[in-house]
């Protein structure tokens, strides 16, 4: 079995890439994708945690969390994408730096 | 119930005036007039007693005393009472209410209903302040008179009204907050010392609290009242508020709102904290004297007529502060007289400035001049009230200033000498006002449509002249009326002081 | 006595009522004149009648109470009138000269469109002046005192279209107000020390409370009262408002600034003579100030070219004589000189008024000349006035000034005597100069109209008084303790009589050699001439010392330093608002970044805490 630290590392890199994506990208669509990436990094950690836990046979909390997060991510992306489509129809672009009317 | 009726008439009248605007834009001012006149009805019996039967009132301090329960859990009562002092100030309030109404009659054309609502509610708040004997109720009225005044300035004011209104509100609100804190502290300390939780002035009066804390509480109250007076470091809201307020609001502000500060000191600070106010007295008198000189010097350099009058108010109210803390009967009587006389003379000046602005659309001293040749009656009134504000003997202001200075000279001769220089400075700015406005040649082309005072203005101003002359030549009834209240209130300090 | 008392109260009330009626009605000119002159004449008749009643009596007292003013604790002030020998003399002068000047004013002011306003002010003035001299307490006196100041202000600035007049009025009011404030402080001090403001009680109380003579408190009180007197009577430090006050109509100058109001200070000191006796230092100061003023005024009068300014400086100088007399304890002669001065100075002013009236408001004496034949009545009355002013023998001014000089010697103040004699010399010199320049020599301008008949009538009446008014009223002789006469030396007797003639001859010589009105070429002399002409440059000194610094100080603070603090508070909170609101820029990525930074920092801090423990 691969060591736990590898999975940790993978998850951390995925999360960081996600954060970087959220911070660096200006396109709303890519931000959503980066968000998904971050969620998946966490999900990976959950699964690894559940698998490597001493009572892994009896304890499936991690997997349950995975299902939960997956559902959450699906609904989030559904709402998010619909907003993105709406926004695109209104503004004809998805640049969040220009979408700052809430400032004042 | 008399006092409650007195209080509710303007409140209800204001609501009616607001509602009636829907039917006719001219209706609100008539309703306001009727309700102001109705306010005199409840005063009829005490006035009648005093005028025709003048021995009975001297025996008891309170002419009318109406305690009611309000929030029993904290022992807060709806306790109203009236003595000679508050009667006098209420009469002044109602008179000046009429003057304000007269000056607003043609000036206010937009949102009349809401205007008269605010006007009447301010008056109701002031009447409440003069009547409330329960400290919590006093605080409530203290706040009630602010909000409508804020609207009066910020809706119907002149060019820079929002700034002025907000400044006014923040200053007085800060003072009010300080008062609320000291009020709670006072009640708390009283509860600790006697085990009795009460907001009632008469009960609090029986056990004056002492100690270090008393000094701080007294200071809190005093500062709250100083803001309203306004005394020196807290005066700067006044010129802005006066300059921007519509004439009617200026009249109310100068004639009655400022007087609540002096009233508060006489009614609450001096009797509730006799020891602390003795400690405070020298510094307060110093503030008063600085205020007299500073206000007069500021008035001298103003080019805006309203600002000039406003700063002269600061100077005149310095005399009130001086009189309040001189701890003897002459100065106190003088302070009360100054409140009356200043209320009338200064608001008359504001009315006049309002008339000038209505006719010439400017308040700039450098753009005015030579009004005497075109508007002799108005100018004669201007001359009269200018002379009154410099303290001409025979008018109320002189009696007041004379008594205040006489009283304070006894204990603080050096301070009083500086205060007396206010008499010279007052002459400087008053003469400047008269000189720049009424004398010389008229500037620019004169519009022949501009007319002299009409009957309504003439009657208003003339009656104010007569009141001032009466105050100046026959002030004795007023002294007698307040004598009991003042000697009752100040017996402790005066014994210690002399 | 109640009958007399009600008559007494009528004296000040008649002009007051007349003023009020004039104020609130719109009478035509004839009714106005009748009402105004009638009321004053009524008052004058009553005072003449009272004179008749109390003829030759010296210690009579008549009081009348018009009501209660202020009564608090110990302070009892009534509107009470008090008539004794001194106030009887005063009211006779005021109502008598007042009535004459009112009469004269009808002619002088008839063309003016503000005829009614003029007489309203004038009546009000007379009423206030009468209250001043009849008051039985100092507060009522103060009311009259400020009242005459107010009327003086109103009348100096009567022609308000010209702002210079109003500036002069403001100056007069403010300078007297400075003195008045000192006087008010004196009232406070007197009340606190002696417990009363009633004038008669004060004199009694002063004797008992300040038993030791030259008490410091007595000196202080008298000094403060003196402050008021200095302002009102245009004495040394506060004298320079009077020449400017000539901006008013000439009858006003005659009534207010020569005959009555400016003598209020002398009255005040004479009225409180016992009080002032307790303060010998202040008395000496009064004599000293009087001397300075009389020399200062007389020297300034020598070089003026404005007709009315000459008379104004002359008034200052003559008031100095009265102060000098008061200061050496010769109150009776001061009041006597006050009376004769009221006659001849009113005469001079009214003749000057007639001149100005005939000559198109010409004030410069060097543009007049040779008017003797063209305006004979004016010239005669001017001559008589000048003679009385120069105290030529057998005029009224002669008797009163001689008396003062004599009493200076009697009281042993020889230095003051020399100064006074020098003053008399200068007085005679400038009177002669004035008369010669205006009435003799070449004619430069011819009058376009003769003075009205009514004006001439008044002038003739006043001529009579100026010539024969030198009978000292018996009442005031006992006013002050008589000084023991030490007898005069021959020099002391004859010098004051001869000197005026020498002065007149000198003036005649200078006039003949055309020295007057010549431009001066010697620089030092020119400088001195300028100095004298500006009245010893007091205006400029006060401008530099008081007015400019005051204005500067006020201007400096125009935007209200205290308010600046509050505005700074406002600025600071606005600045903070701006800074903090920059974080809310609407950029999602910034929000994210700050969120993440915060989380990382919090996490790091948390871990650090965990590691430490």
| Tens-place pLDDT, residues C137-167 | 999 999 999 999 999 999 999 998 888 899 9
Q: What is the C-alpha separation between C390 and C379, in angstroms, rounded? A: 16
CB contact under 8 A, C167 and B435: yes
Percent of chain B with pLDDT over 90: 45
| Tens-place pLDDT, residues C216-229 | 888 899 999 999 99
Distance (Å) of CA B281 to CA B191, B406, B415, B420, C373: 27, 16, 12, 18, 74
Which of C267, C177, C289, C176 is closest to C223 using CA atoms? C289
| Tens-place pLDDT, residues C564-612 | 888 898 899 999 988 888 777 777 788 888 888 999 899 999 999 888 8
Structure token digits, residue A75:
């609904």
Q: A57-78 burial string, b = 16+ CB within 10 Å, else e?
A: eeeeebeebbeebeeebeeebe
Q: What long-range pairs does C566-574 form, CB within 8 A, spacing at least 24?
A: C566/B167, C566/B236
**Closest residue of C to B433, CA-based?**
C170
| Tens-place pLDDT, residues B465-483 | 999 999 999 998 888 888 8
Q: C318-336 burial string, b = 16+ CB within 10 Å, else e?
A: bbbbbbbbbbbbbbbbbbb
CB contact under 8 A, A100 and C584: no
Q: What is the C-alpha separation between C316 and C246, in angstroms, rounded? A: 13
**Closest residue of A to C584, CA-based?**
A103
Q: Which residues are paired to C81 by β-bridges?
A: C64, C135
Any chains having at least 3 CB pairs less than 8 A from chain C are A, B
**pLDDT at residue C36 in the model:** 92
Cβ-based contacts under 8 A for chains B and C? 123
Residue C119, pLDDT above cutoff 50: yes
**pLDDT at residue A68 in the model:** 92
What does pLDDT average to over chain A? 86
| Tens-place pLDDT, residues B231-259 | 888 888 999 999 999 999 999 999 899 99
**pLDDT at residue C213 in the model:** 59
Q: Is position A103 within any domain? A: no
Q: At what angle do helices C331-358 and C307-327 cross, to 10 degrees?
A: 180
| Tens-place pLDDT, residues B269-328 | 888 888 888 888 899 999 999 999 999 999 999 989 999 999 999 999 999 999 999 888
B227: confidence class by pLDDT, cuts 50, 70, 90: very high
Residue C364, pLDDT above cutoff 90: no
Structural domain boundaries, residue A47: 4-97
Chain C positions in Cβ-Cβ contact with residue B373 (cut-off 8 Å) = 160-161
Burial (CB < 10 A; 0-12, 13-18, 19+), residue C550, is middle
| Tens-place pLDDT, residues B162-208 | 899 999 999 999 999 999 999 999 998 888 888 888 888 888 888 77
CB contact under 8 A, B423 and C180: yes
Task: Kindly state the average pLDDT of the residues C418-445.
Answer: 89
CATH of the domain at A71: 1.10.287.3510
Where is pLDDT greater, at C481 or B362?
B362
CB contact under 8 A, A96 and C587: yes
Where is pLDDT greater, at C442 or C133?
C133
Q: Give the position of tokens 């023991």.
A: C484
CB contact under 8 A, C587 and A26: no
Percent of chain C with pLDDT over 70: 97
Please tell me the distance in Å from B106's CA to the nearest CA on chain C: 27
φ, ψ of residue C81 in degrees (nearest 5): -100, 145
Other beta carbons less than 10 A from residue C562's beta carbon:
15
Task: Kindly state the average pLDDT of the residues A40-49.
Answer: 89
Residue A32, pLDDT above cutoff 70: yes
Overall residue count recorded for chain B in this entry:
498
**Closest residue of C to B440, CA-based?**
C161
**pLDDT at residue C594 in the model:** 86
C 540-599 residues with CB < 8 A to A: 584-589, 592-593, 596
Cβ-based contacts under 8 A for chains A and C? 26
Nearest to C184 among B301, B373, B423 (CB): B423
Task: Kindly state the average pLDDT of the residues B337-342.
Answer: 93
Q: Is position A25 within any domain? A: yes
Least confident stretch, B321-330, C59-68, C253-262, C473-482 = C473-482
| Tens-place pLDDT, residues C289-326 | 999 999 999 999 988 888 999 999 999 999 999 999 99
B129: confidence class by pLDDT, cuts 50, 70, 90: very high
Q: Which residues are paired to C77 by β-bridges?
A: C70
Chain C positions in Cβ-Cβ contact with residue A31 (cut-off 8 Å) = 588
Which of C241, C238, C239, C205 is closest to C221 using CA atoms? C205
B494: confidence class by pLDDT, cuts 50, 70, 90: very low
**pLDDT at residue C228 in the model:** 92
Residue C59, pLDDT above cutoff 80: no
Residue C544, chain B, CB below 8 Å: the answer is no
Residue B496, pLDDT above cutoff 60: no
Chain C positions in Cβ-Cβ contact with residue A99 (cut-off 8 Å) = 586, 588
**Closest residue of A to C588, CA-based?**
A96
DSSP 8-state symbol, B268: I
Q: What is the C-alpha separation between B153 and B122, in angstroms, rounded? A: 12
Q: Is position A48 within any domain? A: yes
CB contact under 8 A, B416 and C180: no
**pLDDT at residue B498 in the model:** 35
Name residues whose C-beta falls within 8 Å of residue C587's C-beta, 6 or more positions apart in sequence.
Answer: A96, A97, A100
Nearest to C586 among A19, A24, A101 (CB): A101
Structure token digits, residue C14:
């008649």
Q: What is the DSSP string of C512-533?
A: HTT-TTPPP--HHHHHHHHHHH
Q: What is the C-alpha separation between B447 and B451, in angstroms, rounded? A: 9
Residue B477, chain C, CB below 8 Å: the answer is no
A25: confidence class by pLDDT, cuts 50, 70, 90: confident
Name residues whose C-beta falls within 8 Å of residue C97's C-beta, 6 or more positions apart in sequence.
Answer: C255, C259, C260, C342, C343, C346
CB contact under 8 A, C166 and B405: no
**pLDDT at residue B444 in the model:** 66
Domain definitions of chain C by residue range: 2-518, 559-612
Residue C475, pLDDT above cutoff 80: no
| Tens-place pLDDT, residues B47-105 | 777 777 665 555 567 778 888 888 888 888 888 888 888 888 999 999 999 999 998 88
Q: Give the position of tokens 């003799």.
A: C440
CB contact under 8 A, A22 and C589: yes
Q: What is the C-alpha separation between B211 and B231, in angstroms, rounded? A: 26
Q: What is the DSSP string of B204-251?
A: HHHS---SHHHHHHHHHHHHHHHHHTT-GGGTTHHHHHHHHS-HHHHH
| Tens-place pLDDT, residues B103-113 | 888 888 888 88
Q: Is position A104 within any domain? A: no
**pLDDT at residue C29 in the model:** 87
Please tell me the distance in Å from B404's CA to the nearest CA on chain C: 10
What does pLDDT average to over chain C? 87
pTM metric for this prediction: 0.88
Residue C143, chain B, CB below 8 Å: the answer is yes
Please tell me the distance in Å from C311's CA to the nearest CA on chain B: 27
**pLDDT at residue C491 in the model:** 79
Q: Tell me whether chains B and C touch (3+ CB pairs under 8 A).
A: yes
DSSP 8-state symbol, C238: G
CB C500 within 8 A of CB C424: yes
**Number of domains observed in the structure of chain A:** 1
B225: confidence class by pLDDT, cuts 50, 70, 90: very high
C479: confidence class by pLDDT, cuts 50, 70, 90: low
Residue B381, chain C, CB below 8 Å: the answer is no
Residue B405, pLDDT above cutoff 90: yes
Chain A positions in Cβ-Cβ contact with residue C584 (cut-off 8 Å) = 103
Q: Which of A45-59, B167-181, C202-216, C430-444 has the highest mean pLDDT?
A: B167-181
Q: What is the C-alpha separation between B62 and C418, in angstroms, rounded? A: 71
**pLDDT at residue C611 in the model:** 87
**pLDDT at residue B495 in the model:** 41
CB contact under 8 A, C560 and B387: no
CB C137 within 8 A of CB C110: no
**pLDDT at residue C152 in the model:** 93
């Amino acid at each position: 079995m691969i060591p736990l630290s590898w999975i940790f590392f993978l998850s951390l890199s995925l999360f960081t890439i996600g954060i970087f994506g959220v911070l660096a990208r200006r396109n709303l669509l890519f931000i959503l994708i980066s968000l998904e990436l971050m969620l998946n990094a966490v999900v990976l950690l959950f699964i690894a945690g559940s698998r490597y836990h001493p009572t892994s046979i009896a304890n499936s909390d991690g997997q349950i969390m995975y299902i939960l997060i997956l559902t959450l991510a699906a609904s989030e992306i559904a709402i998010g994408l619909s907003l993105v489509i709406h926004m695109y129809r209104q503004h004809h672009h998805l640049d969040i730096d220009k979408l700052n009317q809430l400032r004042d | 119930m008399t006092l409650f009726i007195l209080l509710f008439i303007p409140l209800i009248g204001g609501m009616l005036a607001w509602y009636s605007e829907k039917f006719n834009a001219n209706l609100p001012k008539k309703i306001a007039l009727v309700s102001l006149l109705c306010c005199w009805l409840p005063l009829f019996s005490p006035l009648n007693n005093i005028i025709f039967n003048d021995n009975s009132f001297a025996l008891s301090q309170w002419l009318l005393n109406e305690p009611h329960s309000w929030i029993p859990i904290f022992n807060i009562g709806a306790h109203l009472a009236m003595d000679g002092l508050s009667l006098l100030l209420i009469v002044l309030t109602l008179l000046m209410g009429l003057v304000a109404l007269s000056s607003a009659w043609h000036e206010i054309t937009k949102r009349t209903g809401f205007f008269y609502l605010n006007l009447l509610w301010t008056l109701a708040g002031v009447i409440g302040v003069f009547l409330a004997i329960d400290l919590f109720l006093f605080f409530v009225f203290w706040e009630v008179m602010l909000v409508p005044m804020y609207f009066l300035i910020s809706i119907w004011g002149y060019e820079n009204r929002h700034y002025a209104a907000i400044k006014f509100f923040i200053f007085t609100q800060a003072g009010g907050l300080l008062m609320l804190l000291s009020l709670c502290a006072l009640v708390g300390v009283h509860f600790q010392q006697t085990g009795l939780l009460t907001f009632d002035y008469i009960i609090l009066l029986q056990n004056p609290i002492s100690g270090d804390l008393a000094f701080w509480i007294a200071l809190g109250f005093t500062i709250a009242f100083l803001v309203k007076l306004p005394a020196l470091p807290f005066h700067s809201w006044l010129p802005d508020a006066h300059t921007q307020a519509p004439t009617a609001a200026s009249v109310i502000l100068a004639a009655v709102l400022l007087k609540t500060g002096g009233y508060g000191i006489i009614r609450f600070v001096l009797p509730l904290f006799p020891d602390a106010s003795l400690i405070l007295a020298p510094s307060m008198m110093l503030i008063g004297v600085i205020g007299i000189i500073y206000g007069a010097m500021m008035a001298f350099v103003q080019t805006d007529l309203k600002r000039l009058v406003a700063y002269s108010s600061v100077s005149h109210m310095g005399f009130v502060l001086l009189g309040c803390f001189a701890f003897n009967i002459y100065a106190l009587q003088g302070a009360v007289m100054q409140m009356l006389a200043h209320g009338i003379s200064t608001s008359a000046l504001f009315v006049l400035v309002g008339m000038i602005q209505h006719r010439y659309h400017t308040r700039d001293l450098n753009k005015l001049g030579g009004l005497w040749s075109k508007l002799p009656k108005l100018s004669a009134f201007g001359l009269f009230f200018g002379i009154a504000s410099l303290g001409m003997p025979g008018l109320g202001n002189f009696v007041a200033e004379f008594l205040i200075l006489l009283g304070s000279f006894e204990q603080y001769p050096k301070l009083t000498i500086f205060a007396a220089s206010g008499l010279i400075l007052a002459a400087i700015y008053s003469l400047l006002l008269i000189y720049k406005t009424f004398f010389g040649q008229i500037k620019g082309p004169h519009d022949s449509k501009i007319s002299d005072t009409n009957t309504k203005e003439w009657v208003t101003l003339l009656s104010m002249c007569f009141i001032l002359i009466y105050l100046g030549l026959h002030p004795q009834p007023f002294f007698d009326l307040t004598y009991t209240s003042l000697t009752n209130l100040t017996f402790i300090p005066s014994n210690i002081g002399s | 006595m109640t009958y007399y008392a009600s008559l007494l109260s009528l004296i000040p009330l008649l002009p007051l009522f007349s003023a009020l009626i004039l104020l609130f009605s719109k009478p035509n000119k004839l009714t106005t004149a009748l009402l105004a002159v009638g009321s004053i004449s009524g008052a004058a008749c009553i005072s003449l009648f009272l004179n008749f009643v109390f003829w030759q009596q010296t210690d009579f007292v008549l009081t009348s109470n018009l009501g209660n003013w202020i009564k608090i604790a110990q302070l009892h002030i009534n509107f009470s009138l008090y008539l004794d020998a001194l106030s009887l003399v005063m009211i006779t002068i005021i109502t008598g000269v007042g009535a004459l000047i009112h009469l004269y004013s009808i002619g002088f002011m008839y063309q003016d469109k503000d005829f009614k306003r003029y007489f309203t002010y004038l009546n009000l003035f007379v009423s206030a002046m009468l209250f001043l001299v009849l008051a039985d307490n100092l507060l009522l006196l103060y009311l009259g005192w400020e009242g005459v100041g107010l009327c003086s202000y109103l009348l100096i600035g009567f022609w308000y279209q010209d702002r210079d007049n109003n500036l002069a009025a403001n100056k007069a009011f403010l300078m007297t107000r400075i003195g008045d404030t000192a006087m008010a402080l004196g009232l406070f001090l007197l009340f606190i020390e002696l417990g009363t403001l009633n004038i008669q009680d004060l004199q009694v109380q002063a004797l008992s409370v300040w038993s030791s003579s030259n008490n410091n408190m007595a000196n202080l009180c008298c000094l403060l009262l003196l402050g008021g007197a200095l302002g009102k009577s245009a004495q040394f430090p506060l004298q320079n408002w009077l020449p400017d006050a000539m901006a008013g109509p000439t009858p006003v100058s005659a009534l207010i600034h020569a005959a009555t109001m400016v003598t209020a200070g002398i009255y005040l000191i004479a009225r409180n003579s016992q009080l002032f006796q307790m303060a010998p230092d202040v008395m000496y100061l009064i004599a000293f100030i009087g001397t300075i003023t009389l020399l200062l005024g007389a020297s300034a009068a020598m070089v003026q070219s404005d007709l009315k300014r000459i008379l104004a400086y002359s008034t200052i100088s003559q008031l100095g004589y009265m102060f000098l007399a008061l200061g050496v304890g010769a109150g009776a002669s001061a009041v006597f000189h006050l009376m004769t001065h009221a006659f001849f100075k009113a005469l001079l002013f009214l003749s000057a008024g007639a001149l100005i009236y005939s000559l198109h408001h010409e004030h410069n004496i060097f543009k007049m000349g040779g008017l003797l034949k063209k305006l004979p009545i004016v010239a005669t009355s001017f001559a008589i006035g000048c003679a009385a002013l120069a105290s030529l023998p057998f005029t009224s001014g002669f008797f009163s000034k001689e008396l003062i000089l004599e009493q200076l010697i009697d009281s042993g103040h020889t230095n003051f005597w020399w100064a006074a004699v020098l003053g008399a010399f200068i007085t005679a010199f400038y009177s002669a100069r004035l008369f010669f320049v205006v009435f003799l020599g070449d004619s430069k301008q011819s009058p376009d109209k003769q003075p009205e008949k009514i004006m001439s009538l008044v002038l003739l009446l006043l001529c009579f008084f100026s010539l024969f008014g030198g009978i000292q009223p018996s009442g005031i002789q006992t006013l002050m303790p008589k000084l023991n006469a030490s007898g005069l030396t021959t020099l002391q007797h004859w010098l004051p009589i001869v000197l005026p003639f020498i002065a007149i001859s000198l003036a005649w010589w200078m006039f003949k050699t055309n020295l007057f009105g010549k431009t001066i070429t010697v620089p030092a002399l020119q400088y001195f001439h300028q100095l004298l002409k500006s009245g010893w440059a007091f205006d400029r000194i006060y401008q530099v010392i008081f007015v400019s610094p005051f204005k500067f100080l006020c201007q400096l603070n125009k935007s209200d330093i205290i308010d600046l603090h509050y505005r700074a508070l406002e600025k600071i909170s606005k600045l903070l608002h701006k800074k903090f609101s920059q974080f809310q820029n609407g950029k999602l990525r910034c929000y994210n970044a700050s969120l993440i930074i915060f989380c990382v920092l919090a996490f790091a801090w948390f871990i650090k805490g965990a590691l430490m423990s």
